[in-house]
Structure 1
Amino acid sequence: MRKTKTVDTASSKSQEKTAAILKGAMQEFLKHGYAATSMDKVAKAAGVSKATVYSHFGDKEGLFNAVMHDLAQDKFNTAMGLHEPQSLNKNPKIVLSEMATKMLENAKSDRAFQDFIRIVIGESGRFPELAKSYVNNLAKPAIETLTKYFKSHPELKLEDPEATVRVMMGTMIYYVMLQEMLHGKDIVPLASDRVIDTLTDLITGDRS
């Protein structure tokens, strides 16, 4: 029993260190960008040794991937909610409207998320692995999950579910980029509910 308790305590401490490293890494990436962020800076921000950072994540690319994965779980998986069985029994228009609303609200209100995406886009030319990490951890899971959902609802009569998903995701991403990240909301204002209502009407075929 004592051995089990010791193992549990060690596991808990390891999880705490992992969370601290991820938080510190996000802080440093946002502050300095990918190229200028060092494992030393991350270790200092997390309050751990550099050896601990390396032992948990291997290298800076591995750490960035972990931050991206953590961000994906926090943002898209929670917002989409399609892993919940009860969501499959709801009217697709309600499911899509709720999901799109959560996605846009999260992306619009979280400045740190917007700044993080700026880093990915701004440095992806020199570091293509950053862009690939975004696609693997955020874009791909969202596309696959939504495509599976659309295919499970043949009554939507979508000729190409995956392409429909990309149109939907692309519209929302562009909306956040134009309105929030490029400050277009002061120049070409558009309420998010108009975008959401139009998307859901087009996908579900509801013209009422």
Structure 2
Amino acid sequence: MTAPQRLTDRKREAIVVAAIAEFRANGFEVTSMDRIAATAGVSKRTVYNHFPSKEELFAEILHQLWASSVAQLDVSYAGDRPLREQLRDLLAAKMQMMADANFLDLARVAIAATIHSPERAQDMVNRLSMREEGFTQWVRAARDDGRLSCSDPVFAAHQIQSLLKSFAFWPQITLGQPTLGAAEQARVIESAIDLFLAGYEVRPAHLTGTVP
């Protein structure tokens, strides 16, 4: 009973690999499920058995790229660890994803595909925002532990991630700039953490000069 499952997994992986190649080479609109099936060496029915639509398949690819960058990372909040260390781990994983050539190419495909379709754009935004929920949960947990002061964890999580994207995502997507080197990545990450903690970290009274 396990052998058919392994075969199914192999077919699913082949479909994803084929879809990445087709989306990168031809864009979202031109790529068809027929073309993906042919490239993967499976039937069109098999593709639809795994992915009900092209949008679902594209979303799964983006999810896998994100998941691969955090596969070895525990994103849960730890009350006994410095906030800076935890944020550095989280942002390093995010930076790793944004430096992935596959991810950048597919992000360009996604943006091009959504320009003329507001409904599709909203759907993809919703799917991607779900993938970042782990970061929001971390912020909420740190706030509930009394170490961050923010009324809106979703906003705060989006804010710090946007600081990374302004240097390591949008210039590469819109202007064709090269991905950041290791030193520049570290500089962007540390700067983002400085700004985030300056705005939200709850500091002991003796460090702030506040009299109890």
Please say whether Structure 1 and Structure 2 have the same fold, judged by a TM-score greater than 0.5. Answer: yes
1:81 counterpart SS class: coil
**TM-score by structure 1 length?**
0.79
Cα displacement (A) at 1:68: 3.0
2:196 aligns with 203
Instruction: Verify the 8 A CA contact 1:22 1:67 in the aligned structure 2.
Output: yes
Cα displacement (A) at 1:129: 5.0
Q: Cα deviations across residues 114-171 of structure 1 (Å, max 9, x unaligned)?
A: 01001111120234454334323332331x3222212222222234332211111111
**Residues 159 and 50 (structure 1), Cα distance of their counterparts in 2 relative to 1, 3 Å cut:** closer
Name the CA distance, whole Å, in 2 between partners of 1:17 and 1:197: 42
2:129 aligns with 139
1:149 aligns with 138
Name the CA distance, whole Å, in 2 between partners of 1:22 and 1:174: 29
Name the CA distance, whole Å, in 2 between partners of 1:12 and 1:32: 30
Aligned residue among 27, 38, 46 for 1:44: 38
Cα displacement (A) at 1:62: 2.9
2:104 aligns with 114
2:15 aligns with 21
Name the CA distance, whole Å, in 1 between partners of 2:170 and 2:60: 28
1:3 aligns with none
Identity of aligned residues (%): 27
Name the CA distance, whole Å, in 2 between partners of 1:135 and 1:80: 24
The structure where helix makes up a greater share of residues is: 1
Name the CA distance, whole Å, in 2 between partners of 1:117 and 1:157: 33
Q: Unpaired segments of 5 or more residues in structure 1?
A: 1-6
2:153 matched to 1:180? no
Cα displacement (A) at 1:73: 2.2
Instruction: Verify the 8 A CA contact 1:147 1:161 in the aligned structure 2.
Output: yes
Cα displacement (A) at 1:194: 2.3
How many residue pairs get aligned? The number is: 194
Amino acid at match of 1:104: M
Amino acid at match of 2:53: D
Cα displacement (A) at 1:179: 4.2
Name the CA distance, whole Å, in 1 between partners of 2:170 and 2:102: 17
Structure 1 residues 169-178 or 16-25, which shifts more? 169-178
Aligned residue among 161, 185, 190 for 1:169: 161
Cα displacement (A) at 1:31: 0.7
Q: Unpaired segments of 5 or more residues in structure 2?
A: 202-212
Name the CA distance, whole Å, in 1 between partners of 2:63 and 2:8: 18
2:71 counterpart SS class: helix
Name the CA distance, whole Å, in 2 between partners of 1:62 and 1:38: 13
Amino acid at match of 2:168: V
Aligned-residue Cα RMSD (Å) equals: 2.8
Amino acid at match of 2:109: I
Instruction: Verify the 8 A CA contact 2:98 2:104 in the aligned structure 1.
Output: yes
Name the CA distance, whole Å, in 1 between partners of 2:151 and 2:56: 38
**TM-score by structure 2 length?**
0.78
Instruction: Verify the 8 A CA contact 2:88 2:190 in the aligned structure 1.
Output: yes
